[in-house]
């Protein structure tokens, strides 16, 4: 079976499960959870940077999805709709964490341009570079990390991101620029440091 046929079959199966779940079939919703759990948890973890918080976000996201499924009209894919709910739950969770820990977020970078970037994780060719990007991504302040993950990895529009995070479209673009700028700088510094360390190891003793 061709890959396009497989994708079409899976899409049809998802559509059937969504329709059945919307009609109150709990087993169909449970099947949707099983099919989407890995991607939903991955998004939640990338947004929160914490396994415990990610689990809490997933639990809340699926609860909201179950309660709101009757209002899901199918204008977007179910997974995209679920990503939006997950992003909203993650934003709420991070707000609770900030209030609890009194975290202060760095907001001092200047806006130079809003030029588009590339997927900072999916297009990294080497394992070492992917590792550096992941570490740099985790080091970003939560509100910057959320925007770059949703835009560059999950390909949500600026409008959707702004709506789900409760900010303006221009603010979403500014945060995306700042996040990309910091990622580039951090990855460069990490790569440079690793290069110096490698040179020190290879340099013969005098």
Structural domain ending residue among the three candidates 85, 101, 117? 101
Q: Are residues 84 and 21 in the same domain?
A: yes
Residue with tokens 């975290």: 103
Output b/e per residue, 50-71; b: 16+ Cβ within 10 A. Answer: beebbebbbebbbeebeeebee
Residue 145 covered by a domain: yes
193, 200 contact by CB (below 8 A): no
**pLDDT means per 10 residues in the chain (206 residues)?**
50 86 93 94 89 93 93 82 89 68 36 40 57 82 88 87 88 92 82 58 51
**What is the model's pLDDT at position 36?**
94
Residue 58 maps to which CATH number? 1.10.1740.10
Q: What is the total count of domains within the chain?
A: 2
The first and second tokens of residue 139, run together, are: 């080091």
Q: Are residues 23 and 94 in the same domain?
A: yes
Quote the domain boundaries for residue 54.
Answer: 3-101
**What is the model's pLDDT at position 58?**
95
What's CA 50's distance to the chain center, in Å?
13
Residues comprising the chain, all counted: 206
**What is the model's pLDDT at position 197?**
57
Residue 178 covered by a domain: yes
**What is the model's pLDDT at position 41?**
94
Long-range pairs for 165-169: beta carbons < 8 A, 24 or more residues apart: 165/87, 165/88, 165/91, 166/91
**What is the model's pLDDT at position 32?**
94
Q: Are residues 97 and 132 in the same domain?
A: no
Residue 111 covered by a domain: no
Output b/e per residue, 26-49; b: 16+ Cβ within 10 A. Answer: eebbebbeebbeeebbbbbbbbbb
């Amino acid at each position: 079976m061709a890959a396009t046929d497989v994708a079409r079959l899976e899409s049809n199966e998802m559509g059937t499960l969504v329709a059945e779940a919307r009609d109150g079939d709990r087993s169909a919703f449970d099947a949707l959870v099983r099919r989407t759990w890995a991607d939903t948890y991955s998004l939640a973890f990338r947004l929160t940077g914490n396994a415990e918080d990610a689990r809490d976000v997933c639990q809340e996201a699926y609860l909201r999805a179950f309660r709101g499924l009757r209002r899901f009209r199918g204008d977007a894919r179910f997974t995209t709709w679920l990503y939006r709910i997950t992003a909203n739950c993650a934003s709420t969770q991070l707000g609770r964490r900030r209030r609890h820990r009194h975290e202060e977020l760095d907001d001092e970078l200047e806006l130079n341009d809003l030029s588009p970037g590339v997927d900072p994780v999916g297009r990294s060719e080497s394992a070492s570079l992917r590792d550096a990007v992941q570490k740099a991504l985790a080091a970003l302040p939560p509100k910057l990390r959320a925007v770059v993950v949703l835009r560059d990895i999950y390909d949500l529009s600026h409008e959707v991101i702004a709506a789900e995070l409760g900010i303006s479209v221009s603010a979403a673009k500014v945060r995306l620029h700042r996040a990309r700028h910091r990622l580039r700088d951090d990855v460069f510094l990490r790569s440079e440091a690793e290069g110096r360390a490698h040179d020190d190891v290879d340099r013969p003793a005098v």
